[in-house]
Amino acid sequence: MDAQETTTDVQVAAVGALGDGAAAPLDPARAPSTPIPRDAGPSADVLEAAVATTEPKPPKSVTAVPVIAATTPSPLNVAMPQTSPDAYAPANPAAARDMPQALPTAYAPANPATAPTMPQALPDALAPANAAAARDVPKRPTLHGEFMRVVRTRPDWLYGLLCSWGFGYGFLAYIVLFTRPDLTNDPMPTVVLVVLSAIADGSLTNQLAAEPVWAADLLRSGEDPARILRVRNLMLFICEFFFVCTVIAIVARLGHSDAWVPRALPELAVLPLAPIAIGNITSVLVPTPFMRLNCRFQAPGTWVRWSIYVTIPFVLSSLSLALYWLPSKLETLYEPKVLRTIGSLKHVTVTLASATHVYVAIWLVLIPLWQLGVWLVSLRLADSMARMRRHGLARLMDRHTELADSLPKLSLYQSTRQLPARFREIPTDVRAELKLIGSELLEASTTLSRL
């Protein structure tokens, strides 16, 4: 009994030495000096020698304590307390040797060939989305780029502009066929009426919202609203000037006379300027995102804004007529006085050049400066209000775009037939739209007061 206790004490002493951080197998020279009886079973030296011969030596980076504790089937492991560091040793010695490589191996790919491409997985996954976002952001508007974009995309407002030109040509054909005007000596009234009927178009007065997706993307990207409007103004003026020139050419061909063209061209060229200039303000105050008729008939909530959109061009066309009439009246009033004044001077001979001084002063100096001033003031006001309402305008256009996309894909005939069934919804939708327009006008008045 005493011998067994002595053997147990030696074993505990050996375990304590190992648990205190021994990093190498037990050295027989450092064995305890306590005598051990011969009948007490195998000694500690024998046990250590058996362990040394049966266990492979671990690498230098791995301590010997886990290896001995995990693989020795002697009573030393049985008597070892659970709180010892040996409790955390792996059951397989091979795993202990490979433990430093376990963590990198666990995260290694199943196929080593794909390992070099793993760092590129995240950029490659995001690359299509970034490329699509880059394609969706519109380029900075320029006059040449805007022409190319409109020709390439052919937006809906372009067809509306062409339809208004077709209406103007049709009105000219009606006048020529049924009224028999004098196209040789006095063709100006006919040409003016035709041009005014064609420029009563919402494309000239709804420039910022004619393409809601394009305009919303530009506003969100931080583009200057004045640049957007300026580029669109120049493009529309060039288009309308082309229409005016075609009407003049048709009338000159029908009347077999072009003597009136040089004098009439400056007068007719200024007619589209008023709708385009004041249309900058109306496109910011009451923007009406474009929507096709089959969708418009299904959305009564947009009818109030649509009614304003249809009315404004006729109002501005009347303003253009007034701006044309005023210089003509001034010319008629002051040209005879100038001629009489020149004729009263004995040493000055009245010539055709003298008679056109008033015309040049009015139509080539005063009227262009007046129209340019109106355009600059309206562009400045529209730019200031658009800057302060940038996010509101973008949200309005997004809301109309989402509404148009969510409506059923009905034809114009089908959407017209379903109008009687929606009459009960119209008053509620109209009241909601009126409240929204009222809040926008209040915001615009607040903006003007801040300016």
Domain boundaries, the chain: 2-102, 139-450
Averaged over successive runs of 10 residues, the pLDDT of the chain (451 residues) comes to 46 44 45 46 50 50 44 44 48 50 46 46 42 57 92 92 94 93 89 91 88 91 90 94 94 91 86 89 89 88 86 87 80 71 57 63 79 88 87 89 90 87 73 75 68 59
- pLDDT value of residue 271: 87
Listed in sequence order, the residues at least 6 apart from 363 whose beta carbon sits closer than 8 Å to its beta carbon are 266, 267, 327, 331
CA distances from 58 to 46, 95, 97, 98, 272 (A): 21, 11, 7, 10, 94
Q: How many CB atoms lie within 10 A of CB 187?
A: 21
> What pLDDT shows up at residue 305?
86
Residue 191 CA to residue 183 CA, distance in Å, equals 9
Q: Whose structure tokens read 């969706």?
A: 136
Q: Is 229:280 a contact under the CB 8 Å cutoff?
A: yes
How big is the chain by its Cα radius of gyration, in Å? Answer: 46
Spatial distance between the Cα atoms of 232 and 230, rounded to a whole number of angstroms: 5
Give 152-159's long-range contacts (Cβ < 8 A, gap of 24+): 155/210, 155/211, 155/214, 155/290, 156/290, 156/292, 157/202, 157/203, 157/206, 157/210, 157/211, 157/290, 158/203
In this structure, what token pair is assigned to residue 105?
Answer: 């191996």
Q: Tell me, what's the pLDDT at 71?
A: 44
Judged by DSSP in three states, 386 sits in: helix
**Farthest-apart Cα atoms in the chain, separation:** 160
Verdict on whether the full-model pTM lies above 0.95:
no
